[in-house]
Amino acid sequence: MNESNGRTARLNMRLTPVALHLIREAAAAQQEDVTSFVLGAALDRARTVLTRHHELHP
């Protein structure tokens, strides 16, 4: 665990070979590693979901 970057938790997932290939290809197209690509996408989605949730449930 690398404490210098502030990351202290780990997320593991299982996916199909096709899904992994697609994610790797997209990450490469953005010149990002897979971890950065997936984390960025997940954080964007989480922010969108929570913004909509807070708008509907103030």
pLDDT of amino acid 8: 87
Give the integer Cα–Cα distance in Å for 32 and 29.
Answer: 8
Give 21-41 pLDDT, tens digit per residue: 999 999 999 999 999 999 999
Are the CB atoms for 23 and 38 separated by under 8 Å?
yes
pLDDT of amino acid 56: 94
Residue 19's CB: how many other CB atoms inside 10 A? 11
Give the integer Cα–Cα distance in Å for 40 and 7.
Answer: 14
Please tell me the pTM assigned to this model. Answer: 0.80
Block residue for tokens 């708008």: 55
Average pLDDT over the chain, rounded to an integer:
92
Q: Crossing angle of helices 34-56/17-29, nearest 10°?
A: 100
